[in-house]
Structure 1
Amino acid sequence: MQSEKERLAESPKRSSPWRRWGPYLSERQWGTVREDYSASGWSWGAFPHDHARRRAYRWGEDGLQGWSDRQCRLCFCPALWNGKDPILKERLFGLGGHEGNHGEDVKECYYYLDSTPTHSYTKALYKYPQCEFPYARLREENSALPRSAPELELADIGAFDGDRYFDVLQEVAKRSPEDILWRITVTNRGPKAAPIHLLPQLWFRNTWSFGVLREEPAEKPTILRDGDGLLLSHSTLGRFRFYAETEKGSAPLKWLFTDNETNEPSVFGIKASHKFFKDGFDRHIIHGEKNAVSADPSGTKAAAWFKASVPAGKSITFRCRLHRIKETNGLEGLDQFEETFAERISECDAFYHDIIPQDAGEDDRMISRQGYAGLLWTKQFYHYAIDEWLSGDKHGPPPPSERLNGRNHDWRHFLARDILSMPDKWEYPWFAAWDTAFHMIPFARIDPEFAKHQLLLLLREWYMHPNGQLPAYEWNFSDVNPPVHAWAVWRVYKISAKNGERDLLFLERCFQKLLLNFTWWVNRKDADGNHVFGGGFLGLDNIGVFDRSHCLPDGSTLYQADGTAWMAGYCLTMLTIALELARTRPAYEDIASKFFEHFVSITDAINTAEKAGLWDDEDGFYYDRLVFSDQKSVPLRTRSLVGLLPLCASTVLNQSHLDELPGFRKRVDWFLAIRPDLLRYIKVRRADGEKNPVRCLLAIPSEKQLLRCMERLADPQEFLSDFGIRSLSMAHEKPFVFEHNGQRNEVTYTPGESDTDMFGGNSNWRGPIWFPINFLIIEALERYQYFYGDTLKVEYPKGSGCKVSFSKIAEDLSHRLVSLFKPDEDGYRPCFGEAKRYTDNVHWRNLLLFHEYFHAETGEGLGASHQTGWTALVIRLIRERLEKD
């Protein structure tokens, strides 16, 4: 068996914990809800970036491309200083939502380049300017920009001019599960020699100052100087040794020691309760404070201080080793360092050689490899015990009373202390339920057990609310993300099957908990019990004419086309899972019929005008409908993804499968016998030889409705962009205006960044290309192809005169999405926008970023810019295209 596959197989064993250590450190812990102990609930102000170097965190840690064990007890990351910055570069800098013109935004250039699933080898790159880092200028100038202007980035103000920066390449290789090697290569890209201070630093997360939490040790750990390295001791983690030197064997200039404690006089203006503080290295090196570090070589934070002048175009390499004392491998210090790296790199290459299809071209391979790297690097330790967070720390003052009725107060059961897949390690250093679902699709190919674990985890009783709701995201667990968890469970179940052996236990465990969640949706989001659903913003932020979660005029009710479509799709996925389980567990035939009936009822409601239906026959589209207290209603005629999502609620059942389940077939026949009016929602395609058995299509749109919606989807003047499906039709270049009781709201096609402050201006669903919904649309088109074959075709693109099958449309959409990352004949990739350095400069070329969303007309990457998880779906699209070819 290939080496990395062997490690994956061994990793569940306590004797071989290959996953215990990894790049689990967040890129930002400051400004998060967990660290907010204020009355206002404004987390950006409660714990700003300026506090991060001086104030001990309560619930996690952060660091520059840092590592930790899976419980974040011991952390590692390099700190940097170019001799000019006002502070050590220990973590990434960015702007809070109140500081920039488009919401939260990181202002650094860094890239995740490689990783195996067990992190036996990882590689990441950080670009560090040699000029003084422009913290104040980035704040001041971005805050002054209007929403119509692009964000001001580090490169825009000359930080990389003349290539005056360092490439800091960090590679990590595990010699064994708890013997870890770091190779940090600093390359001067500039024209002149430049100084660099590098501090490989280790510290213990502070679990001793705040009072004992569940399962957290109160005993204070220690880091001591020991011979030519460090000795580290922790009551639950064990004892470790750490070594550091240059590639040529030179020792550090000095070993530095301090404590991971808050600098109380500096942060709060109160008397110090400790002698040494978290910012000791910063004050000692930059400000020359000799007493800021401990003269006694011990503490809870330590660093090896290296100082060098790097010649122009040259590199200096620094080498580190951390190993459990029990795990010496018979090697001293940094013996066999380079040999280990060579071996792990070779194994990483071999692993992806098997994962990525053999006929993939160089670009497909690179996109896939960096996409997987981003997914793996953005796993991070997430700790949040809401009961303790609300009640306050045992050794601290009680929190403000406002907190007890504020954010997440009704989630006291919630207790997370896990490694989770995050959308992004800076802009989103917390999980989001529907993001996680999409991440697991590409994850299932490289690490199926991790994918299953993540999906099960969010269904566990310490995550799921007792009422059945899944937590949405940290800012407000009670918000509602689209119910795609069941879809992800089903897709991971199929993708991860080995040699036809499917994990029925995983499927059944998920199904049981999903029943609770489905019931919550029915009880909470079907306001009038008529099978038409709301749900609020449903993750689509500002797609509506007003905030669909809060701003409904006159206490009216909003019937949502997307909420109803999501629930119809939920029904169909649960039906599919139940039928799969019923093959070997006949009891599931009963519940399968329940989901069949519910789906047909939803389809009837959304399509029937007399039942508050959402189909507009005049426009040939699905719209949200606003229902007033007097029961009068108006459609909100914004053509957006909201109205395309009903196309995704579809599945195809094979008659042969149904014949194997007589109990289910009997119940369906009975239901349709007493409700013959609903037969019109089931389309049957008769047998056409043995290869085409009888198939039944269950879908929200009828054939006529499907074709009318497809006219909109296929129209370049509406939804069809060169890069996929727009989130809002170009028809709304002329704004849609809704006026009521003196209030005016409008929606305008905005292909790039948001120009409104709805949801903090932090995202835009009013035009850009988003991968997750595009991916679902492509899957739906493939299902329609499976049912219709080539018997039904659509003019595509509209106006071309060319009619093609659904599969051809799916293939073309997939190609458009992948083209965002592909170079043209001049080497230009659309996702980089106008940043010429990615085309013209060899040291930037081929460094990919997997953005949150993309400009619908230019393809430029927008929003969160660093390996946003769901955009890694591009890997799946590449794979499916290659498999078809």
Structure 2
Amino acid sequence: MTGPSTRPAPGHPPTAEHARLAADRAGTEPWTEWGPYVSGRQWGTVREDYSADGDAWSSFPFDHAHARAYRWGEDGLAGLCDRYGFLNLALALWNGNDDRLKERYFGLTNGEGNHGEDVKEYWWHLDATPTHSYAQWLYRYPQARFPYAELRRESSHRTRDQPEYELSDTGVLDEDRFFDIRVTHAKADPRAILVEISATNHGPDPAPLHLLPQLWFRNTWSWGRDDRTPRIGTGTRGTGDGRVALAAEHGFLGRWWLLADGAPRILFCDNETDVDFCFGTSTGEPAHPKNAVDRAVVHGDESRLAADGGTKAALWWSWKAVAPGATVTVRLVLVADAALATLGADPFAGFDATVTTRRSEADAFYDAVIPGAVDDVDRHTARRAFAGLLWGRQLYRYDVEQWLEGDPAGPEPPAGRWYGRNSSWRHVSLADVVSMPDEWEYPWFASWDLAFHCVALAHVDPGLAKDQLVLMCREWAMHPDGQLPAYEWDFGDVNPPVHAWAAWQVYLLDGGHDRDFLVRIMTKLLFNVGWWVNRKDADGSNLYEGGFLGMDNIGPFDRSRPLPDGQRLEQSDATSWMAFFLLSMLRIALELSRTDSAWDDTATKFLEHFLAIADAMERFGSGQVRLWNDADGFFYDVVVGTDGSTQPVRVRSLVGLLPLLAIQVQPSWVADAVPDFAARLAWLRERHPERVGAVLMTHEADADVVALSLVPPDRIRILLRHMLSGDEFLSPHGVRSLSAAYRGGYSVPIDGAELPIAYTPGESDSGLFGGNSNWRGPVWFPLNVLLADAMRTYAEALGPSFTVELPTGSGRLVGLAGVADDIDDRLIALFRPGADGRRPGDPVHVGQGPLWSEHPTFSEYFHGDTGAGLGASHQTGWTALVAHLVCLRGRQLP
């Protein structure tokens, strides 16, 4: 782990939650040993795919999830587990009408949705603290039969030009005929967790309801690698009053108790596959399979239940009719045997008081995190964003070597697996709690998403943020050649190199003191720099080819595929990302040089790399064609033929705005503290002014303020005319990913062919990359945050007299700091209710009225014209950056 890093924001005293974080990081009290680490979806993931064709969605479909044991993880509703994922507690529901227990969220696979994978549920993360000492979650459960078949059928008939068919479209939520299920977690002790489950009938009629909290062990015994089997049975210790108690015995965890306040019925089975149900064979059929509880409750068949214990148990409460407006509540305590005494003779005697105390402590914690000047609306948004980010931490277990070779007790995998997906990443062996991009649609880490998560996380738990960044660089994650793992579907894909930028932001947000963290991250990212230089600069030209770089569908063709006839694509964005990466590394090296002169010439090395890229962008194509196009005033990708001929891909998109990110102001102390770097820069200015003249900026009023920039001031003005034009990039809700000038479509001439592209402000109309995301027009939070951050740096470098029109053509001149504030305001405003009470960023299918208006939704991206939320509906990964923007208001970083 990195340093303690548990301080509150400046001007605020430490809170009880800060003290818990400090104790946890010191190793004296394991407050984060248990948390919301159960995945929102385990089925349909690469980890659970043992097929010959690599079709993960079909290999383990949703219809198997309730009856088939997972190999690598678990999923559930409002799930809790230990950080190793051995013991799990989550909620199951039944409304008396569904054909199965509601044990997990339902959504469409990539092939079923008309815009790719798509969850079809409504739930919200209401609150959470970093230690999960207090947390709340809300799920909206229909009282009518859940329309699984209708959602699939109607979606299959829709084209990419049509909107998605949502749960609200089916009518099952009409007249508020649903239960709001609220789950509250509060820790009385690091190993004593209080759980309250309440259900409120918002419909006009009485309705039946069944609540079934389920406790189970992850199946570790069926794969032929460890035959030790844990057990859950009944017990009486710690109750003494007739209350129900389950005792869970595990070789590593020891004994844990699940205590119930009341007298629910206990149902036992085993977390093992119903072989006949899933595969149509009785061979190897367990006596008490995973779905025995479902069979008993929903289908009235109790023949598969175990009589006195197993590896899975449910506590069954039922109500024949919950009256309209009424709320029913159940209470549980999950507690380690050694912590029972902390609860006293009656484990529930102090239940309500503890919950109230933890809620109050959570309020105090966020009062210390979110500046006092922030208004209530933005404060609510930020707190909800942090809640989603903290609930989005999930246990991620994946040993690629074991996955490739299969398990001794299972069938031998097809030989082709050794040459297929992730086969060159056999060193990956992860069993860590990782921040996920989205609880359902992306229940696996993505390294560039994670970097943005960490910037937001640094406001509430900088130690966690640093650990997450370091994790991606550890030897069991980073490839031996220096590449960071991209994401589960293809670890070898190329993500933008934002890790160094994120590390620097986290360092500053943590107070700018943890140089040990900078050294740890820096030494590993040196390997990553080498990987980019050696693997993504094909001909050593200092121009880079990264592929799609996370921006799905942004170009007129798939940039991840090789071009025909030996051509290659020199990318404006890949080259700019590399320049941005080098300047971020340079800034870290300069900081480290202040106390350790050994880093001085490392900073000089990054300077030389950056200058080489800047030079290449100008001299490319022997001066005939550059990435910068003078006629259009924009940067473009360029196709290079085998004969050296060049042709720009003349599409105005974020690809051409990304050079703006490569800007770095050199601290005033550099000349004295970093002599090698300072001497080299002075030598270059004297002997080779042509190399540094175009990239070196000097402040108008302070000659000591010097900056390196990939884009000189005259081009900044030109690019910002495009970026700040409402007819092109500037929407009311942020900077679009593709110029709106292409509303009517546009044809790009490439190699004698005409390739079409059009501004598409909403969902993707292309099947590239699964078709579930779109960079041909919508607003994406992370790139907007980076652009605003760059504008502030330009303002620092150029001074207040450097002004531009905002918006273009308005005649209103503002400084670049004002441009940054304006972008931030547009992003934050997505979450501010309008006159009708609706937030611009709400997805169109989210309901209106008091039962909905309190709950902001954090979408993957936003409509380029209306701002409506699109894509993954719980992207409190990088969209949680809104909390970062809110918290930075009025806060001065070191």
TM-score range, shorter chain: over 0.9
Instruction: Give, in whole Å, the separation in 2 of the partners of 1:61 and 1:241.
Output: 20
Equivalent-residue separation in structure 2 for 1:608 and 1:729 (angstroms): 27
Aligned to 1:517: 528
Deviation larger for 722-731 or 548-557:
548-557
SS of equivalent to 2:287: coil
SS class of match (1:466): coil
2:699 touches 2:799 (CA, 8 Å); kept in 1?
A: no
Q: Is residue 244 from structure 1 mapped to residue 260 from structure 2 by the alignment?
A: yes
Query: 2 CA distance for matches of 1:429 and 1:837?
Result: 26
- Is contact 1:29–1:62 with CA below 8 Å preserved after alignment? yes
TM-score with structure 2 setting the length: 0.95
> What fraction of aligned residue pairs are identical, expressed as a percent?
49
For the aligned residue pairs, the C-alpha RMSD in angstroms reads 1.5
Secondary structure in structure 2 of the residue aligned to 1:865 = coil
Q: Cα distance, 1:796 vs. partner?
A: 1.3
Whole-Å separation in 1 of the counterparts to 2:73 and 2:124: 22
Q: Tell me the distance in 1 between the aligned counterparts of 2:126 and 2:671.
A: 47
CA shift digits 1:582-607 (9 cap, x unpaired)? 11110111111111011111111113
Post-superposition shift, 1:365?
A: 1.0
Is it true that 1:284 corresponds to 2:296 in the alignment? Answer: yes
Mapped to 2, the partners of 1:412 and 1:263 lie a distance apart of 31
Per the alignment, residue 7 of structure 2 pairs with none
Residue of 872, 875, 881 corresponding to 1:873: 881
- Quote how far apart the aligned CAs of 1:656 are: 3.5
Q: Tell me, yes or no, if structure 1 residue 428 matches structure 2 residue 442.
A: yes
Q: 1:861 aligns with which of 866, 869, 882?
A: 869
Alpha-carbon separation, structure 1, partners of 2:513 and 2:28: 27
Q: Which residue of 2 aligns with 1:449?
A: 463
**Residue number in structure 2 paired with 1:74:** 87
Whether contact under 8 Å (1:56, 1:206) holds in the other structure is: yes
Contact in 1 for aligned 2:441/2:872 (Cα 8 Å): yes
Pairing 1:458-857 to 2, within 5 Å after superposition: 458-497=472-511, 502-609=513-620, 610=622, 613-685=626-698, 688=701, 692=702, 694-738=704-748, 744-835=754-845, 837-838=847-848, 841-857=849-865
Unaligned 5+ runs, structure 1: none
Candidates 138, 156, 176, aligned match of 2:169: 156
Structure 2: stretches of 5+ with no match in the other structure: 1-13, 237-243
**How far apart, in 2, do the equivalents of 1:234 and 1:436 lie?**
33
CA distance in 2 between counterparts of 1:175 and 1:686 reads 56
1:41 is matched with 54
Residue 369 of structure 2 corresponds to: 355
- TM-superposition CA deviations, 1:162-200 (whole Å, max 9, x none): 110000000001110010111000000001110001101
Tell me the TM-score normalised to structure 1 length: 0.96
Secondary structure of 1:367's partner?
A: helix
Alpha-carbon shift at residue 67 of structure 1 (Å): 0.9
Partners of 1:589 and 1:663 within 8 A in 2: yes
Instruction: Supply the AA of the counterpart residue of 2:655.
Output: V
Any conservation in 2 of the 1:655–1:693 contact (CA below 8 Å)?
no
**Distance in 1, Cα, partners of 2:197 & 2:887:** 33
Rate the CA distance shift 1:278–1:742 in 2: closer, same or farther, 3 A.
farther
Alpha-carbon separation, structure 2, partners of 1:686 and 1:813: 23
Partners of 2:776 and 2:562 in 1: CA distance: 18
> 2:327: which partner in 1?
315
1:106 aligns with 119
Q: Distance in 2 between matches of 1:455 and 1:865?
A: 25
Q: 1:531 is matched by which residue type in structure 2?
A: N
CA distance in 2, matches of 1:111, 1:322: 23
Q: CA deviation at 1:489?
A: 0.7
CA distance, structure 2, for counterparts of residue 148 and residue 414 of structure 1: 39
Deviation at 1:577, TM superposition (A): 0.7
Aligned to 2:305: 293
Shift of the alpha carbon at 1:667? 2.4
Q: How many angstroms does 1:655 deviate by?
A: 4.1
Secondary structure (helix, strand or coil) at the match of 1:327 reads helix
Contact 1:38 1:46 in 2 (8 A): yes
Give the secondary structure class of the aligned counterpart of 2:852. coil
For residues 801 and 3 of structure 1, do their structure 2 counterparts lie closer, same or farther at Cα, with a shift above 3 Å needed? same
1:142–1:151 contact (8 Å) kept in structure 2? yes
SS in 2 for 1:543: coil
TM-fit CA distance, 1:673:
4.5
How many corresponding residue pairs?
867
> 1:835: how far off?
4.3
Following superposition, the deviation at residue 662 of structure 1 comes to: 1.6
Q: Which amino acid aligns with 2:329?
A: T
Q: Which moved more, 1:323-332 or 1:735-744?
A: 735-744
- Distance in 2 (alpha carbons) for counterparts of 1:412 and 1:77: 32
Amino acid at match of 2:424: D
Distance of 2:83 and 2:667 partners within structure 1: 45
Q: Which residue of 1 aligns with 2:11?
A: none
Q: CA deviation at 1:833?
A: 4.5
The verdict on how the C-alpha distance between 1:693 and 1:673 changes in structure 2, with shifts beyond 3 A counting, is closer
Superposed counterparts of 1:61-140, under 5 Å: 61-140=74-153
Q: What one-letter code is carried by the residue in structure 2 that aligns with 1:614? A: L
How far apart, CA to CA, are the structure 2 residues paired with 1:603 and 1:517? 20
> Does residue 232 of structure 1 match 2:257?
no
- SS at the partner of 2:879? helix
Partners of 2:170 and 2:102 in 1: CA distance: 19
The structure 2 residue matched to 1:220, chosen from 221, 229, 242, is 229
Find the aligned partners of 2:171 and 2:682 in 1 and give their Cα distance: 71
**What is the alpha-carbon distance in structure 2 between the residues aligned to residue 739 and residue 52 of structure 1?**
48
Per-residue deviation at 1:26? 0.4
Determine if contact 1:95/1:139 at 8 Å carries over to the other structure: yes
326, 338, 345: which is aligned to 2:359? 345
Per-residue CA deviation, residues 708-758 of structure 1 (Å, 9 max, x unaligned), is 101101111000100010000011123232455786532110000000111
Q: Cα–Cα, structure 1 residues 290 and 708, in superposed 2: closer, same or farther, change >3 Å?
A: same
CA positional deviation for 1:15: 4.1
Residues 529-583 of structure 1 deviation map (CA, whole Å, 9 limit, x = unaligned): 1111110000001101111011523231000000000000111111111111011
Map of 1:60 onto structure 2: 73
CA distance in 1, matches of 2:154, 2:753: 33
Contact persistence 2:108–2:120 (CA under 8 A): yes
CA contact (8 A) 1:687 1:694 kept: no
How big is the shift at 1:849? 1.1
In the alignment, what sits opposite 1:397?
411
2:699–2:797 contact (8 Å) kept in structure 1 = no
Cα deviation 1:495-521 (Å, max 9, x = unaligned): 111xxx610000011100000000000
What amino acid is aligned across from residue 256 of structure 2 in structure 1?
F
CA distance in 2, matches of 1:786, 1:673: 25
Q: Shift of residue 274 of structure 1?
A: 1.6
| Alignment partners' CA distance in 1, 2:843 and 2:31 | 39
User: For the residues of structure 1 that align with 2:299 and 2:382, how far apart are their CA atoms?
Assistant: 45
Kindly indicate whether residue 155 of structure 2 is the aligned counterpart of residue 142 of structure 1. yes
The residue number in structure 2 matching 1:383 is 397
Q: Are 2:846 and 2:852, in contact at CA under 8 Å, matched by a contact in 1?
A: no
What is the Cα deviation at residue 825 of structure 1? 2.4
User: Would you say the 8 A contact 2:700–2:798 is kept in 1?
Assistant: no
SS of alignment partner, residue 339 of structure 2? coil
In the alignment, the residues of structure 2 paired with residue 136 and residue 62 of structure 1 have an alpha-carbon distance, to the nearest angstrom, of: 22
Residue 446 of structure 1 deviates from its aligned partner by 0.4
Instruction: Give yes or no for contact 2:733–2:779 (8 Å, CA) kept in 1.
Output: yes
- For residues 143-222 of structure 1, the aligned pairs below 5 Å read 143-212=156-225, 218-222=227-231
Secondary structure (helix, strand or coil) at the match of 1:416 reads strand
Q: What amino acid does structure 2 have at the position aligned with 1:605?
A: A
8 Å contact kept, 1:81–1:88: yes
